[in-house]
Amino acid sequence: MNILFATSEAFPLIKTGGLGDVSYSLPRALQEMGHQVALILPGYRSVKHKLGRPDRRYALADEFLRDDVLLSYYGHSALGLPLYLVESDSLYDRDGGPYESGPGEGWYDNGDRFAQYCRAVVCLLKGGAAEIPQRFDVVHCNDWQTGLIPAFLQRLALPVRSVFTIHNLAYQGLFDRGTFDYLKLPDEWWHLDSLEFYGNFSFLKAGIVYADWVTTVSPTYACEIMHEPLACGMGGLLQHHRHKVVGILNGVDYDAWNPATDPYIRFHYDQHSLQEKINNKLEIQRNTGLRLSKSTPLIGLVSRLVEQKGLDWIVSAMEATLGEKVQWVVLGAGTQQYERQLQALAQANSKVISVTIGYDESLAHGIEAGCDLFAMPSRYEPCGLNQIYSLRYGSLPIVRRTGGLADTVIDASEDALEQGSATGFCFEEPSARAFTETVRRAIALYRKQKTWRKLQQQAMDQRFDWQHSAQAYLELYEQE
């Protein structure tokens, strides 16, 4: 099967969150299963710098594309897959992030940037770059940035199947009527049954309405988004299309996330050499200025610092447990308010709280390897990858029972402890109190060394490989 994977980010070229990881490992898993997979990304400046000269450049024939849009092709990219870049100097060749010019500041022309990207993808699919021999059976679209692709495909009646994956329903790609007109989208799309959404229009809605299949990244999230509050206004629409909505749990890349081989960590370990994990803990304490202590439970957090991730509950729990024997190590970037609150706490309590603001792949691995517990008290979580990495690293996750967190972590209840199935700590109620209580429950269990060791081993035994999920996607690609 010939698959085109359309995404706005892909590790290691450009990544802001889990979408980047998925866009790296899912296409590779599909390729390993014997399929032809190519990726197509916007040609951001930083990505072009990383890739250097393309093997080929193609002009695209489409009356709605800007004059400076062209397609570059890399046969062997850092992704291990053939890669197309949609290039446009006026749209993508600039400093700043893929979606934002600065923290919290979406690019003023995002509607145009991703509409042109979608048009270019469709142009490739319809054979608009005549010299390209490759034809595609299916296009796999991801998140709002790619939402117009299924809509254009349907309009052109192209024989290419489409799967649209929602990684986060809260990001809807909403723009106003003026933008709709500017983008020269078909008039009949300004309709309740099409792209129009409460007086604006939504790229995400386009994907949901027109794709052959709509997937989300965990079975629990697929149920949650049918109703408010997690439906974000789209519950009725999703229920209407229920027959084509499927939850497929993300896998993770165990080549990149394996404590026995991780090149970013100094002391490698597995289930049978967990004593080495302590050395990673001392290493991270040393590197971040925390007090050196083998016996103080260390809680890690690597995250976008946004409301979704329960950052206010983290701040409250840190404050509430200040006098108690526990340390925190945080890495992340996001909302200024949270960055400031966390930095202030770390400054005043530097031996027990360390906060690094920024994006740091190496430190992210170091934290996974060095901490005892990993906090993910998300308000909602479509899938979540860090809790799965944490399981693999024997760093027991503390999660709220929602979305993919509910599908991957088993609470250390008395029953689960007895049955030997527990892998972490879950709480239900969306509140600082419930999270803080769970932190304390985890710390209490940490003192029972034998039980703790067993829990770690159970967590490390879990596997969320891509093969299984990739197979589920393949079945959708093939189904009429």
Q: Which residues contact ligand GLC by CB under 6 A? A: 17-19, 22, 167-168, 217, 250, 381-385, 404
The smaller minimum CB distance to ligand ADP, of residues 297 and 300, is found at 300
> Between the CA of residue 20 and those of 393, 454, 461, what are the distances in Å?
21, 33, 25
Return d(Cα 195, Cα 79) in angstroms, integer.
33
The smaller minimum CB distance to ligand ADP, of residues 361 and 475, is found at 361
Question: Which of 216, 225, 205, 83 is CA-nearest to residue 148?
Answer: 205
Residue 262 site contact among ligand ADP, ligand GLC, none (CB < 5 to 8 Å, cut-off depends on kind): none
C-alpha gyration radius of the chain: 23
The smaller minimum CB distance to ligand ADP, of residues 87 and 407, is found at 407
3-state secondary structure of 194: coil
User: Please, what is the minimum distance in Å from the beta carbon of residue 230 to ligand GLC?
Assistant: 12
Residue 302 site contact among ligand GLC, ligand ADP, none (CB < 5 to 8 Å, cut-off depends on kind): ligand ADP
User: Please, what is the minimum distance in Å from the beta carbon of residue 392 to ligand ADP?
Assistant: 12
The smaller minimum CB distance to ligand GLC, of residues 280 and 387, is found at 387
3-state secondary structure of 84: strand
Residue 202 site contact among ligand ADP, ligand GLC, none (CB < 5 to 8 Å, cut-off depends on kind): none
**Amino acid of residue 404:** G
User: Please, what is the minimum distance in Å from the beta carbon of residue 305 to ligand ADP?
Assistant: 8
Phi, psi at 82, each rounded to 5°? -60, 140
User: Please, what is the minimum distance in Å from the beta carbon of residue 252 to ligand GLC?
Assistant: 10
User: Please, what is the minimum distance in Å from the beta carbon of residue 380 to ligand GLC?
Assistant: 8
The DSSP call for residue 290 is P
Residue 217 site contact among ligand GLC, ligand ADP, none (CB < 5 to 8 Å, cut-off depends on kind): ligand GLC
**Amino acid of residue 141:** C
How far is C-alpha 393 from the chain's CA centre? 19
Contact 415, 398 (CB under 8 A): no
Question: Which of 195, 97, 206, 200 is CA-nearest to residue 146?
Answer: 206
User: Please, what is the minimum distance in Å from the beta carbon of residue 365 to ligand GLC?
Assistant: 17
Closest residue to ligand GLC, judged by C-beta, is: 18
Q: Which residues bind to ligand ADP, rule: CB under 6 A?
A: 17-18, 21, 302-304, 331-333, 359-361, 364, 383-386
